[in-house]
Amino acid sequence: MSLHYDLHSHSIISDGSLSPSELVRHAHQSGVDVLALTDHDTTDGLAEAGLEAARVGISLINGVEISVSWNKYTIHIVGLLAQVDNEILQQGLSGLREFRIWRAQEIAKRLHKAGIPDAYEGAQVYATGSIIGRVHFAKFLIEKEYARDMREVFKRFLVHNKPGYVNGQWASLEDTLRWIKAAGGIAVVAHPARYRFTATKLKLLLGEFKELGGVAMEVVSGNPTRDEIEHMSKRAQTQHLLASRGSDYHGPENAWLKMGRLQTIPASCQPVWEHEVWSSLLPAVIQQPAVVL
C-alpha cells in the first residue's frame, strides 16, 4: 500500500489555526502517513510537531514556506528536509519576519486612514505564533464585522488596490534558493496554479528556479481540478522538475479543504519522495515514529 504524503501545511505558529501537535494528530487521524509542516517564514513549530509525530506514529518532514518577491509578484517557495539549526536559513527567515512586523504596522496605518482603528493590536490578538500576516488582520476585521468571511475580507481589504494592502518586499528567488541549499534542503515551487501566470511567465519562473538549483514543483496542491493537475504535470515534465503534493491545510474552519484527501500525482511525473535526493536527505532530518503501528 502506498503512503499518503502531504508536503504542505500550516499551524498557529504562522497563519494556521491548529497548534503543531493538534495539526499532527489531525493529519494522523485523516490518514496522512508523511506530513511536512511548512509554516510561513518560520520553522518554530517543527520541534513540537516532531515530538507529537513520534508519539502518534507518523513521519514529520521539516518544512518552511518562504515568501518571495519575483519580478513584481509575490510567490511562495517551500523548503523541505532542511536542517533547521542552519544559520544562513535562520538569518534569512528572521529578516522576513522583521519585514512582516513593519508591514503589519503599515497595514494598520492604512486601515486607520480608511476609518478602521486599532487594527495592529487587533491582529496581534490572533498572531500568537512567530509571525504576523494578513490572515491575522482578516480575523480581526471579521470579528469587527467589516466582512463576513475570509474570502470577502481579503477581496475588500487585503489585496492589491484595497485599503489594507502593502506591497511585499520579500526574499529574492536567488537568496531563497541559497538559504534552502545552505541548510541542505530541497526547494519546491508552491501552488504554481494560484499565481495565474501566463504560460510564458510560468515557464520563465520555473526556468529560473531550476537554474538556481530548484528541485520540484507542486503538481497537486489543495483541491485542484483534473485539468490543473494535468497542466502542472506537463509543466513539471517540460522543465525537468520533480512533482510534489500538498494540501496547504490551514485549519478546520476551511470546510472545503480536508486533510488526507489529496489526489495522486500522474504517473508521467516523478514524485519528489521517490527520487534519490529525497532518500539521501531523509535519515538526517526525518522524525522517525517511535512506534510503527
Contacts to ligand AMP by CB under 6 A: 15, 40, 67, 133-135, 150-151, 154, 250
Of 230, 155, 180, the C-alpha closest to 76 is 180
Check: CB of residue 289 under 8 Å from CB of residue 57: yes
Check: CB of residue 9 under 8 Å from CB of residue 249: yes
Check: CB of residue 34 under 8 Å from CB of residue 3: yes
**CB nearer to ligand AMP: pick between 68 and 241:** 68
Q: Binds 142, which of ligand AMP, Mn ion, none (CB < 5 to 8 A, cut-off by type)?
A: none
User: If binding is defined by CB under 5 A, does position 41 make contact with Mn ion?
Assistant: no
Check: CB of residue 64 under 8 Å from CB of residue 158: no
What whole-number distance in Å separates Cα of residue 7 and Cα of residue 158?
27
**CB nearer to ligand AMP: pick between 66 and 241:** 66
User: If binding is defined by CB under 5 A, does position 15 make contact with Mn ion?
Assistant: yes
Q: Which residue is nearest to ligand AMP (CB)?
A: 133
Q: Binds 144, which of ligand AMP, Mn ion, none (CB < 5 to 8 A, cut-off by type)?
A: none
**CB nearer to Mn ion: pick between 22 and 65:** 65
User: If binding is defined by CB under 5 A, does position 39 make contact with Mn ion?
Assistant: no
What whole-number distance in Å separates Cα of residue 75 and Cα of residue 67?
6
**CB nearer to ligand AMP: pick between 178 and 250:** 250
What whole-number distance in Å separates Cα of residue 245 and Cα of residue 216?
10
User: If binding is defined by CB under 5 A, does position 139 make contact with Mn ion?
Assistant: no
**CB nearer to Mn ion: pick between 24 and 190:** 190
**CB nearer to ligand AMP: pick between 110 and 210:** 110
First-to-final CA distance of the chain: 14
CB of 78 to Mn ion, least distance (A): 8
Q: Which stretch binds Mn ion (CB under 5 A): 11-19, 140-148, 171-179, 251-259?
A: 11-19
Letters for 54-93 (x = contact with Mn ion by CB under 5 A, - = none) are -----------x----------x-----------------
123-148 per-residue burial string, b: 16 or more CB within 10 A, e: under 16: beebbebbbbbbbbbbbbbeeeebbe
Letters for 189-208 (x = contact with Mn ion by CB under 5 A, - = none) are -x------------------
What whole-number distance in Å separates Cα of residue 37 and Cα of residue 249?
10
Grid coordinates representing 163 are 485599503
Number of residues written out for the chain: 293
Q: Binds 26, which of Mn ion, ligand AMP, none (CB < 5 to 8 A, cut-off by type)?
A: none
CB of 10 to Mn ion, least distance (A): 5
User: If binding is defined by CB under 5 A, does position 248 make contact with Mn ion?
Assistant: yes
- H or E stretch covering 174: helix 173-182
Check: CB of residue 185 under 8 Å from CB of residue 81: yes
CB of 141 to ligand AMP, least distance (A): 12
Binding footprint of Mn ion on the chain (CB under 5 A):
15, 65, 76, 190, 248
